[in-house]
Amino acid sequence: MWIPIGKGLLLGMVLSISVGPVIFAIIKQSLTNGHKAGYAFVLGVSASDVSMVLLTNFFTSLFSVALSHQRTIALLGSLFLVSVGIFSLFFKKKSAFLDPSAQAIKQYRKRDLLGIAASGYFMNLLNPAVFLFWFAASAAIIGDAASAASPASYKLAVFLTCLVFVLLSDVLKVYFAAKLRLRLTAANMLWITRLSGIIMIVFGVVLGWSAYTNQLPTE
């Protein structure tokens, strides 16, 4: 049982330290909107990972169809990232941020948090790199599980360990970012949001260009 757990931890570490738009979005949400928004975003990302694990294990034909439309998914992801980046860069005003020294944090309604979670879900889901990661990882895990005494238990141990590790690492990112938030001024947070917007636009443009020129990674 320790072997699948070890493999799950390794996969989780690879996924949690991968540099992409999601990690910057998690930090940005936590710094500018507080820990509740950060946790909601992380919940959406985690739900997206769970969806892809289920697709690769129980709906392989549907997942194959999704992979065959990788270019379309990439273009949608590019449009989504660029839109988020433009909004952060040009439409977030300094007055939108509360002074952290005042210890006042915006109170979010359930539908606000649901919207933030949905943005995390789709930002992760529309990333072809994440699709290919889960496709490759699932293929390897299913192959290893075939020779195990209990293939179902083997796969459950690997995927559950990986997903829990990634979720906990994202929660820690939110926690420490929220702590850092108390040391920042409203002007600092405005510049962080603008930097995050630029990063989103860059990732979106690169993703869109790769899709347009057919230079997306293949499995």
Q: What is the pLDDT of residues 92-151, one digit of tens each?
A: 554 444 444 444 456 778 888 999 999 999 988 887 777 778 877 887 788 788 888 888
pLDDT of 188: 67
pLDDT of 52: 87
| pLDDT tens readout for residues 49-78 | 999 888 877 776 666 666 667 677 777 777
Q: What is the mean pLDDT of residues 184-191?
A: 68
Rounded to an integer, what distance in angstroms lies between the CA atom of residue 28 and that of residue 31? 5
Rounded to an integer, what distance in angstroms lies between the CA atom of residue 201 and that of residue 101? 31
Answer left, alpha or beta for residue 164, where phi above 0 means left and psi between -120 and 50 means alpha.
alpha
Rounded to an integer, what distance in angstroms lies between the CA atom of residue 75 and that of residue 16? 24
Q: What's the token pair of residue 213?
A: 């020129």
Specify if 219 maps to a domain: no
Lowest mean pLDDT among 8-22, 25-39, 56-70, 123-137: 56-70
The residue among 165 and 29 whose pLDDT is bigger is: 165
Please say if the pLDDT value at position 88 is more than 60: yes
Rounded to an integer, what distance in angstroms lies between the CA atom of residue 73 and that of residue 79? 10
- Angle formed by the axes of helices 128-145 and 2-17, to 10°? 170
Q: Is 103 helix (H, G, I), strand (E, B) or coil?
A: coil
The residue segments making up the domain with residue 37 are 2-10+22-212
Q: How many domains does the chain have?
A: 1
Specify if 16 maps to a domain: no
pLDDT of 66: 62
Token pair 């933030």: residue: 116
pTM, two decimals, is 0.71
Specify if 218 maps to a domain: no
Q: What is the mean pLDDT of residues 185-211?
A: 75
The alpha helices in the chain, defined as continuous H runs, are 2-17, 21-33, 35-58, 60-68, 70-86, 110-125, 128-145, 151-181, 186-212
Rounded to an integer, what distance in angstroms lies between the CA atom of residue 195 and that of residue 105? 22
pLDDT of 219: 47
Rounded to an integer, what distance in angstroms lies between the CA atom of residue 2 and that of residue 111? 41
Rounded to an integer, what distance in angstroms lies between the CA atom of residue 123 and that of residue 135? 18
Specify if 190 maps to a domain: yes
CA distances in angstroms from 23 to 7, 15, 124, 162, listed in the order given: 22, 10, 10, 17
pLDDT of 30: 83
pLDDT of 177: 82
pLDDT of 101: 46
pLDDT cut 90: percent of the chain above it: 20
110 Cβ contact partners less than 8 Å away, ≥ 6 residues apart: none
Specify if 217 maps to a domain: no
Specify if 181 maps to a domain: yes
- Mean pLDDT taken over the chain: 78
